[in-house]
Chain A
């Protein structure tokens, strides 16, 4: 009988949750949306997603091995999630070299320069996407319309997204009631049969992913619900004030990247606040900023910018917004 026993302070047991399990949980939650986009956009969705994932993981590996000379941590799944989310924000016909550049910015600049996982202030996938949007505006905004499973990679027919139709139309003096006839119905948007980036089109698929992440306790409800809730309230007010100039709240929530952003991008652990109170404020900030950019800004879509702007406030929120400590403010019943 060996007398050597391990000694360590308590607790002596662990919940068995790991970084990798959480990251792969997010990947699983993203699968319905990926399946939907392959169904709608064909092979292009596969090529874009694969390129993005492979280049994100590869860049993380190369930077850790040759630049930082640190242990390799690509198996933790975080680069995989970044790659997947970056692809979800791109049109399915975008050239491969742009994706590779975007991945380099996402991983190289937005993540690794700050010290890698856990230290980056801004969501890497969104930094990559915004870089691509600004550098390659034409390629980044020529959205293929859904052509079914057999759609080719570069020969897809492109068209404007619902949000772009509204933005352009309003600029040309058309009214919402006229424009609403040109955009897909709420049911079409819910099922995803619309033009848009790979991951954002099928609301139903994103909501399935949301439910999965809630059940697995990967995320809490606070951020997605406050993003969508604040958007609903804000757009309802605008719609009631002037229904001919402003689209209805249902349209705003289902069109564009709100659900993808609220469920998967804004909830990124590293770049979102840590206590429930801050999460709600952060979510409302994203919702309100998104509407402001959509209604008064130059871009038809504003979720990416709204999330990045709110990312910048997270350190402040973590520092100044605190939950009430137990026994701090005593209310005895």
Chain B
């Protein structure tokens, strides 16, 4: 029996149209728009001015505080302006807009294709390099990697888990990367192991990617302490708490981090970015993006410079099909619907999916049947129907007792509801209200002291 997480989960259709499509390099556009906040935490502060000439890989905005990240230019050219734009999340934020002139990289980057396996940096230097290179979690959450590599005093990490699950339908960027950059990923994993001072790393991959499992298993024999574990396909196995449970049967306590059970989880894409940053001195300014959709004529996987508008990707995939009704940045389960095609690709953009208008509208909702499907698919054993009702009625204290803040918004409940009830919409409302409530309460109790 293959391993998987025990409670809940769903099996949406795979739709991995681009699993066999080799990653190509997308042409560098005439202009890029690079937002200063592409990560969880404080936005970076711009350190360049309008009219400045920047090189590819040059830092243009510096991280502010510990939980933040540097932003680098993904092209060489002249800064056209620093302006407010709308990003993939729909929110406004500051971005640096650069008019491209050639492609002149900063001199410190090793542009050769040679595989460098020897790790010369010390653990501290690796973490520092990740910080400088703007490495963030590329699975989609974009949490700054250097923070995860800094184990606080009193905590112990004994295992590194590498997330190669890619459980969202359609997306294949991690899958292709594992096949095409396997060695680099494994060196990246070794680097992360060194930084965390752990002896053991497990790469978890779902068995709808058997070629990747075989490939990495073969390569891993040359690397000390790294093993590959095949997993049964089930969404949301890529959630880190589910992945930890599936691989080593440790359960991260409610409200805690994986580190509390001695584990740190990084994505395969992040491992590759770490390899490039540490061995090649290349900051994070490009990533693999899947451009796909059932009506897209040439779906594919591309190395895309950060800041390229998704319009360019859509053009590369054969243009926007007629009757496109929705464009999603990320996967269909957790991705964001974008409002226009001028939004730029950012560090967290794992894919762009085009949905025909026939599949882009929700069906009309009907009364809750109390069928319990939402409960049975919830991998955290929450009761989505109840959380929705409580949020709808404004009973947020009760929602807090029912652990609404544990919800990781995987969307399995809304996906499974036969009455098409917008469970997750209301849970999000409840969750954000409860988080705000708790924050205010904490501030009050602090003020009292």
CB-nearest residue of chain B to A333: B249
Q: Does A1 contact B (CB under 8 A)?
A: yes
Complex Cα spacing A12 to B424, Å = 11
The answer to whether B326 and A12 have CB atoms under 8 Å apart is: yes
The answer to whether A274 and B363 have CB atoms under 8 Å apart is: no
- Chain B nearest CB from A80 CB (Å) reads 15
Please give, as numbers and ranges, the residues of chain A lying within 8 Å of B332 by CB-CB distance.
10-13
User: CB-CB contacts of B224-253 with A at 8 A, as 1s and 0s?
Assistant: 000000000000000001000100111111
Of A13, A274, A326, the contact of B406 (CB 8 Å cutoff) = A326
The answer to whether B370 and A274 have CB atoms under 8 Å apart is: yes
Of B261, B353, B383, the contact of A274 (CB 8 Å cutoff) = B383
Please give, as numbers and ranges, the residues of chain A lying within 8 Å of B411 by CB-CB distance.
10-11
Please give, as numbers and ranges, the residues of chain A lying within 8 Å of B241 by CB-CB distance.
326-327
Complex Cα spacing A332 to B159, Å = 14
**A15 and B10 in contact (CB under 8 A), knowing A10-B336, A22-B418, A118-B367?**
yes
Q: Does A3 contact B (CB under 8 A)?
A: yes
Please give, as numbers and ranges, the residues of chain B lying within 8 Å of A269 by CB-CB distance.
369-372
Complex Cα spacing A195 to B405, Å = 56
Complex Cα spacing A323 to B372, Å = 13
Please give, as numbers and ranges, the residues of chain B lying within 8 Å of A116 by CB-CB distance.
367
Please give, as numbers and ranges, the residues of chain B lying within 8 Å of A13 by CB-CB distance.
12, 169, 332-333, 359, 415
Question: Which one of B75-83, B193-201, B203-211, B373-381 is at the A interface?
Answer: B373-381
- Chain A nearest CB from B68 CB (Å) reads 26
Complex Cα spacing A98 to B409, Å = 51
Complex Cα spacing A107 to B420, Å = 24
Q: Does A188 contact B (CB under 8 A)?
A: no
- Chain B nearest CB from A28 CB (Å) reads 16
A/B pair count, beta carbons within 8 Å:
161
Of B337, B353, B406, B420, the contact of A5 (CB 8 Å cutoff) = B337
Please give, as numbers and ranges, the residues of chain A lying within 8 Å of B261 by CB-CB distance.
332
The answer to whether A19 and B366 have CB atoms under 8 Å apart is: yes
**A118 and B370 in contact (CB under 8 A), knowing A274-B375, A327-B406?**
yes
Residues of A1-19 whose CB lies within 8 A of B? 1, 3, 5-15, 17-19
Of B253, B327, B361, the contact of A327 (CB 8 Å cutoff) = B253
User: CB-CB contacts of B249-280 with A at 8 A, as 1s and 0s?
Assistant: 11111111000010000000000000000000
Q: Does A325 contact B (CB under 8 A)?
A: yes
Please give, as numbers and ranges, the residues of chain A lying within 8 Å of B370 by CB-CB distance.
118, 269-270, 272, 274
Please give, as numbers and ranges, the residues of chain A lying within 8 Å of B383 by CB-CB distance.
274-275, 322
Residues of B165-192 whose CB lies within 8 A of A? 169
**A326 and B379 in contact (CB under 8 A), knowing A6-B360, A8-B362, A73-B366?**
yes
Q: Which of A13, A15, A17, A324 has the most CB of B within 10 A?
A: A13
The answer to whether B254 and A326 have CB atoms under 8 Å apart is: yes
- Chain B nearest CB from A264 CB (Å) reads 15
The answer to whether A15 and B12 have CB atoms under 8 Å apart is: yes
Complex Cα spacing A73 to B419, Å = 13
The answer to whether B340 and A14 have CB atoms under 8 Å apart is: no
Q: Does B416 contact A (CB under 8 A)?
A: yes
The answer to whether B420 and A18 have CB atoms under 8 Å apart is: yes
Number of B interface residues at 8 Å Cβ cutoff, please give it.
Answer: 73
Of B320, B385, B406, B424, the contact of A325 (CB 8 Å cutoff) = B406
Of A10, A274, A326, the contact of B385 (CB 8 Å cutoff) = A274
Complex Cα spacing A273 to B252, Å = 28
The answer to whether B337 and A331 have CB atoms under 8 Å apart is: no
- Chain A nearest CB from B233 CB (Å) reads 15
CB-nearest residue of chain A to B419: A19
Q: Does B328 contact A (CB under 8 A)?
A: yes
**Secondary structure class of chain B's binding surface, majority of residues:** loop
User: CB-CB contacts of A42-74 with B at 8 A, as 1s and 0s?
Assistant: 000000000000000000000000000000010
CB-nearest residue of chain A to B323: A2
Residues of A253-292 whose CB lies within 8 A of B? 269-270, 272-276
Q: Does A220 contact B (CB under 8 A)?
A: yes
The answer to whether A327 and B251 have CB atoms under 8 Å apart is: yes
- Chain A nearest CB from B302 CB (Å) reads 21
Complex Cα spacing A8 to B357, Å = 13
CB-nearest residue of chain A to B326: A6
- Chain B nearest CB from A189 CB (Å) reads 31
Complex Cα spacing A17 to B368, Å = 13
- Chain A nearest CB from B350 CB (Å) reads 13
Q: Does A248 contact B (CB under 8 A)?
A: no
Q: Does B403 contact A (CB under 8 A)?
A: yes
- Chain A nearest CB from B333 CB (Å) reads 5
Q: Does A181 contact B (CB under 8 A)?
A: no
Please give, as numbers and ranges, the residues of chain B lying within 8 Å of A5 by CB-CB distance.
324-327, 337-340, 360
Q: Does A119 contact B (CB under 8 A)?
A: yes
Q: Does B435 contact A (CB under 8 A)?
A: no
Q: Does B7 contact A (CB under 8 A)?
A: yes
Complex Cα spacing A328 to B381, Å = 10
Q: Does B283 contact A (CB under 8 A)?
A: no
The answer to whether A220 and B376 have CB atoms under 8 Å apart is: yes
Complex Cα spacing A116 to B367, Å = 9
Q: Does B335 contact A (CB under 8 A)?
A: yes
Q: Does B31 contact A (CB under 8 A)?
A: no
Of B330, B369, B382, the contact of A118 (CB 8 Å cutoff) = B369
The answer to whether B372 and A275 have CB atoms under 8 Å apart is: yes
- Chain B nearest CB from A171 CB (Å) reads 41
Contact sample, A vs B, 6 pairs, CB 8 Å cutoff: A5-B324, A5-B340, A7-B337, A11-B424, A12-B360, A330-B253
Q: Which residues of B approach A to under 8 Å, CB–CB?
A: 7, 10, 12, 90, 169, 241, 245, 248-256, 261, 320, 324-328, 330, 332-341, 353, 355, 357, 359-363, 366-373, 375-376, 379-383, 385-386, 403, 406, 409, 411-412, 414-416, 418-420, 424-425, 428
Other A-B contacts than A13-B12, A322-B383, 12 sampled, CB-CB below 8 A, are A6-B326, A6-B357, A10-B334, A10-B411, A11-B411, A13-B359, A15-B12, A73-B366, A275-B375, A325-B254, A327-B241, A327-B253
